[in-house]
Amino acid sequence: MKQFLLYLGIFFISTTSFCQELTGIELLEKAIAYHDPNGNWNTFNGTLHITMETDDKPNRDTEIKINLHEEYFYSKAVRGSETTEFILEKENCKILYNGSARFSEEIAKEKRLSCERANMYKNYYTYLYGLPMKLKDPGTIVDTKLEQKSFKGKEYLVLKATYKETVGGDTWYFYFNPESYAMEVYQFFHEEAKNDGEYILLTEEEIVNGIKMPKNRAWYTNKEDKLLGTDILK
């Protein structure tokens, strides 16, 4: 027992000292080197298959195609008997509902079938599956200071990121393994004082185009600690 406590003490001291020496940008570079060692994200051209599991709804299976160089994004989501497809190619936008581009205004409103929605999905998927590389995008403000935090009984090096007003208003925290620099948790707040927003636990990895991406993303509310759903990369 004494040896175990001694180990914990040495680990805490060494991690704290290391945290003080490392800057936010340096931690980000180490995390990117872990997740995207060959710098493949900037030219990413690949397909992702994602299943979203929630307790109160049938699973949603989504096929995502992203070609960053060609500015191409495709999303096909299937839930039950419904299929929605969003296609963005540079400035062009196309939407299909159950395989057809012809649908009523009532359906478009009810199912939120719009080019604005298509761009939201594009930004959502490229941001989440492009992390932590996306933290180098213009408009992202990476805090120079690091924090050491314990989350769910585990110690992390934590990076804070905010955004210019034209990009976004949320505050994000990214939790990295202090030994491997793997991203294992992230968390966002709309208003941190209210403890709103969500945290996302990342478990296991899939290698896609040479990039280590989280296989499982479990979404929880910050305030209630309630599981909202889990995205599984297949």
d(CA 155, CA 141): 24
Q: Does the predicted model carry a pTM greater than 0.85? A: yes
What are the respective helix, strand and coil percentages of the chain, to the nearest 5? 25, 45, 30
Predicted local confidence at residue 7, as pLDDT: 45
The secondary element (H helix, E strand) that includes residue 74 is strand 72-79
Which phi and psi angles does 101 have, rounded to 5°?
Answer: -85, -5
- Closest alpha carbon to 132 in 68, 186, 191: 186
Percent of the chain past pLDDT 90, that is, above it, reads 88
Tokens of 49: 């298959």
Round to whole Å and give the CA distance between 174 and 2. Answer: 33
Helix H or strand E segment including 139: none
| Token pair recorded at residue 232 | 């599984």
pLDDT digits (tens, 9 = 90+) for 7-66: 444 444 444 444 558 999 999 999 999 999 999 999 999 999 999 999 889 999 999 999
> How confident is the model over 123-137, as a mean pLDDT?
97
Q: What is the tens place of the pLDDT at every residue in 68-115?
A: 999 999 999 999 999 999 999 999 999 999 999 999 999 999 999 999
Cis peptide bond N-terminal to 132, omega within 30: yes
Which pLDDT band holds residue 174 (cuts at 50, 70, 90)?
Answer: very high
Nearest CA-CA partner of 233 in 48, 31, 45, 4: 48
Residue type, 64: I
Which of helix, strand or coil describes residue 156?
strand
DSSP code, position 183: E
Residue with the two structure tokens 């976004």:
168
